[in-house]
Amino acid sequence: MDQQLRHRILMVSDFYYPNFGGVENHIYYLSQCLLQLGHKVVVLTHSYGNRSGVRYMTGGLKVYYVPWRPFVLQNTLPTIYFSLPIIRTILIRERITVVHGHQAFSTLCHEALMHARTMGYKVVFTDHSLYGFADVGSIHMNKVLQFSLADIDQAICVSHTSKENTVLRSGIPPEKVFVIPNAVDTAMFTPAHKRLDCDTIVIVVISRLVYRKGADLLVEVIPEVCNLFPNVRFIVGGDGPKRVRLEEMREKHSLQDRVDMLGAVPHAQVRSVLISGHIFLNSSLTEAFCIAILEAASCGLLTVSTKVGGVPEVLPDDMIVLAEPDPYDMVQAIKKAIHMLPYIDPHLMHNRMKGLYSWHDVAKRTEVVYDRARQCSKKDFLHRLSRYLRCGAWAGKIFFLVMLLNFLLLSLLQIWQPSDNIEEVPDMELSQDQQEDIQLNSCEA
Amino acid sequence: METTETDTSKYHPPWRKVAYGGMQPGYNDNYTDETFLEELVTNANVVKRDILIVMQDSVSISQYLCIVALVVIVWIHTLDSVIGEGSLLLLDACLLGLGFLILLLTTSQLSLKVLSKYLLNIAFFTCGLFVLAPVYHTLTRSISSDSIVALTISLLILHLFLHDYSGYTIRPPGCAKNPNLASNISLNASIVASVLVASRLPSRLHVFAIVLFSLQVFLFGPLITFCIKKYSFKLHLCFSFLLISMTLSIIYFLHTVSFVIFTSLLVFISAVCPYMLIKIQVYKFEINGPWDEAKLCFDITD
C-alpha cells in the first residue's frame, strides 16, 4: 500500500482479549480487517492476570498489555497524568498517526485520547453503549464524555439511535458522527447442516442474567409460553445475579424438563448452543446494537427481541419479530414467530446475512473516517484549548486547566526523555505465504 | 446537514434508518437526516407547581420543627431543674391520653382488639424503659458536658435532615411497606439524642420520665400528625398553626434572640424555599427518547 495513504492506528480500550464481549470482538475483527487492507494496527489495553507485556496476535497485530491492574469493572485506575509517559512512548515508538478509542466507560480510552490530543495526534472515538441522562452515574459519565469529545476529530457510533444519544450527551455537531454498525463473523456462525424438525420448538436465550438484559422479563415470559405451547422448550445459557430467580421460576412451575439452564457458555461453544434451537429470544431493556442477534441470525434462527435502543435497525423485518418490553407483548411476539417458523430457511437466512453484514465493509467505512480525520485542520494545541471552555461554566474552566497541566507535563517529558531517544519500531513485512494464510483463516471468506 | 447527491440523474433509494446492508448508496455515513432527534421528548414528566400548594405542603415541615423545638425546651428546663419529675410524669400521661384520643377520633376502624394490642405494647414499652432507666442514668458519666451538647445538637440536625416529613417511620403491625433507610437513620439519631440528654439528669425517675417523653414524641408523633393530615387537611392546617403560634409564644417569653432566629427559619421554610423552588423549575431539562432503558411495568417480587 502506498505509504502516503497508509494509516498507523492505535486502538485503545480497557476491554480486549482475553475477555469476550461486544467491544472486544469489535476491536479484534476491525483490527484484522484493517491489517488486511494494508494499514498498521496496534492495540493498547491493561494487563489481564499474568498476561502482561507485548503480545502478537494473528496477522501481526501487536497488543500492548500495559502492566496496570484493573481497578473496578474492568477499568484501570484513572490517574489522569500518570499514563502520559507510557502512552507517549508507545505513540512515538510505533509512529502512530490515528488514535482510536473505544467505549465511553473505559478510563484508559479517555486518558489515551486526552494525551493523544495534547500531543497533536488525530483522534477518533467509537461509542458502543447507550446511556441515560437522569441518574448520578450517567450525569458524571456524560460530563467526562463531553471533555473527551470536545476536541475530537471524528466519532463513530454503532447505530442511528446511538448517534442521537451520543450527540445529545456530548454536544458535538451531528456531522462529526459517523454511523458504522458492528458486524458478525459469518464464517464462524453457520447454521446446522441438517434442518431441525419442527415437532419440538426450541427457544434459545444466551445472555448475562442481569437486570439490564431483561432477566426479569424472562421470568414472566417463560412460564406463560410453556403454558400456551406444550411443544416448546427453552435453553437458557449464561450466568449472573438473576439466575437464582430463573431457577426459582423453574421449580415453582415444574419446568425442569422443559427449561435447560446451561450456566455460563464459553464463546467457542455459543454456535453449538445456537444451532440446537429454532428461535432466539432477546429480552434486553437497553441495547445500542445487539451482536447476539446477528450471531443468531447468521446461524439461521428467527429472532424475537424487545424493541429497545438500536435493535429495530439491526435486522430486516422478515428476520426479526419485535415486541414491547412487556410480558404479554413478548408472548404474542413468540406466538407470531412460531407461526412464521415453517417459512424460514436457515441457510437462506445465513446467505442473506453474509450480504448484509461484513467486517471488511466495516473496515472500509472506518478507513473513510480515518481519511476524514487526517484531513481535519491541523491547529496548534493552544488554539484548540478554547474548545474546552465550551463544556460548561465551571467544568469548562476545570477541563481547560487539566489540559494545560497535561501540556506542561508533556513539555517537561520532552526535555527529560526526548523523542529522538525513543527507538522507532520498523514495520513488520509479512511474506507472501503468510499473507495468504491469514487471508484464508481470519475474518470471513 | 450533508447530502451527497453527486449525480442527480442517477436514482438512489431514500435514506432509511437501518444499520444493515452496508453504506447506503448516495449517502455518507455521517449523513444527518431531517428525522434526526425526531423522537426526542423533553420535560415529559415535569409537574407545574403552584406556589400556594407548595406553601401548604411546607407547613408539615414547620409543624415538625416546632414539635422538636418544644422537646428541646422541655429538655433544657429539665436539665436546669425547672421542671420536676412529678410534672414530667404528668406530661407523659397527658400526651399518651391525647395521642390515643386523636387516634380514636381520626381512624375509623379501630376495633377493641387492635386497641387492646396497642395498650399492651405501650405497657411493655413503659415497663422496659422503667427497667432500663438505671442503665441510662450512668451511661455518659465519664463524658464531658460539652461533648454531650455537641453530639446532641449534631444528632438532632441529622434527624431533622433525614426525617420523612410526608409519612411516619413506626408502622402499625401488619403494614405492608417497609420504611426506607433515611427515615430509619433519622429515628435512631433522635433516640440516641434523647438517651444522651437523659443521662445527664440527677435521679432515675427523672431519666425514666424524660426518656418516656422524648420517645413518645419522636416515635409516635409522626404517626399522630399523619392521622390528622389524612383525616382532614383543614384540621391539619389548624393544628399546625396552633402549634406554631404556641411554640413561638413560649420561645418569645424565654429568649428573644432564639425567637428571632426561629421565626426567620420558619419564614425561610414556608415562604422563601417554595418561591425559589418554583423559580428554578424553569431550568428543568428532562430528556427522553428511544435510547432510554425500558421500565418494567410489573413489580419484581423476590
Residues of A in contact with B290 (CB under 8 A): 161, 164, 308-309
**Interface probe with B: pick from A160, A162, A286, A331, most Cβ of B within 10 Å:** A160
Output phi, psi for A265, to 5 deg: -105, 120
Tell me the nearest-neighbour CA distance from A379 into chain B, angstroms. 23
Range B110-131 burial, b when 16+ CB lie within 10 A, else e: eeeeeeeeeeeeeeeebeebbe
Per-residue model confidence as pLDDT tens for chain B (302 residues): 444 444 455 688 888 899 888 888 888 888 888 888 888 888 888 888 899 999 999 999 999 999 999 999 999 999 998 888 899 999 999 999 999 888 888 877 777 888 888 889 889 999 999 999 999 898 888 899 899 999 999 999 999 999 988 877 777 666 667 778 898 999 999 999 999 999 988 888 989 999 999 999 999 899 889 889 888 899 999 999 999 999 999 999 998 999 999 999 999 999 999 999 999 988 888 888 888 888 888 877 66
The answer as to whether B190 is a domain residue is yes
| Residue A165, amino acid | N
- Across the interface, do B286 and A178 touch by the CB < 8 Å criterion? no
- Out of A167, A220, A365, the one facing B23 most closely (by C-beta) is A365
Nearest residue in chain B measured CA to CA from A354? B21
The answer as to whether B237 is a domain residue is yes
The answer as to whether B207 is a domain residue is yes
The answer as to whether B289 is a domain residue is no
Containing B273, the helix (H) or strand (E) segment is helix B273-280
**Interface probe with B: pick from A142, A169, A175, A212, most Cβ of B within 10 Å:** A175
B29 touches chain A (CB under 8 A): yes
Nearest residue in chain A measured CA to CA from B30? A178
Secondary structure (3-state) at B125: helix
Give the A:B interface size as CB pairs under 8 Å.
100
Nearest residue in chain B measured CA to CA from A242? B302
Residues of A in contact with B302 (CB under 8 A): 245
Under 8 Å CB-to-CB from A270, ≥6 apart: which residues?
A206, A237, A295
B17 touches chain A (CB under 8 A): yes
- Across the interface, do A369 and B293 touch by the CB < 8 Å criterion? no
Taking a C-beta distance cutoff of 8 angstroms, is the pair A98, A374 a contact? yes
- Across the interface, do B296 and A285 touch by the CB < 8 Å criterion? yes
The answer as to whether B118 is a domain residue is yes
Residues of A in contact with B3 (CB under 8 A): none
What does the pLDDT read at residue B5? Answer: 47
pTM of the prediction? 0.82
The answer as to whether B70 is a domain residue is yes
**Interface probe with A: pick from B32, B42, B291, B302, most Cβ of A within 10 Å:** B291
Residues of B in contact with A180 (CB under 8 A): 29
What span, in angstroms and rounded, lies between the C-alpha atoms of B137 and B141?
A: 8
Total structural domains in chain B? 1
Residues of B in contact with A285 (CB under 8 A): 293-294, 296
- Mean pLDDT, residues A75-92: 92
What span, in angstroms and rounded, lies between the C-alpha atoms of A12 and A35?
A: 16
Write the pLDDT tens digit of every residue in A259-288. 999 999 998 899 999 999 999 999 999 999
Write the pLDDT tens digit of every residue in A418-435. 988 889 988 876 665 666
* 8-state DSSP, B216: I
The distance of Cα A324 from the centroid of its chain, to the nearest Å, equals 24
The answer as to whether B43 is a domain residue is no
Mark which residues 242-301 of B lie under 8 Å from A by CB. 286-287, 289-294, 296-298, 300
Positive or negative torsion for Cα A268, A271, A276, A277: positive
Which range marks the domain in which residue B131 is found? 51-282
The answer as to whether B290 is a domain residue is no
Strand order in the sheet with A177-179: A53-57, A61-66, A40-46, A8-12, A98-102, A122-127, A154-157, A177-179
CA angle, A114 then A33 then A290, to 5°: 75
- What percent of chain A stands above pLDDT 70? 96
What does the pLDDT read at residue A134? Answer: 85
B22 touches chain A (CB under 8 A): yes
- Across the interface, do A159 and B19 touch by the CB < 8 Å criterion? yes
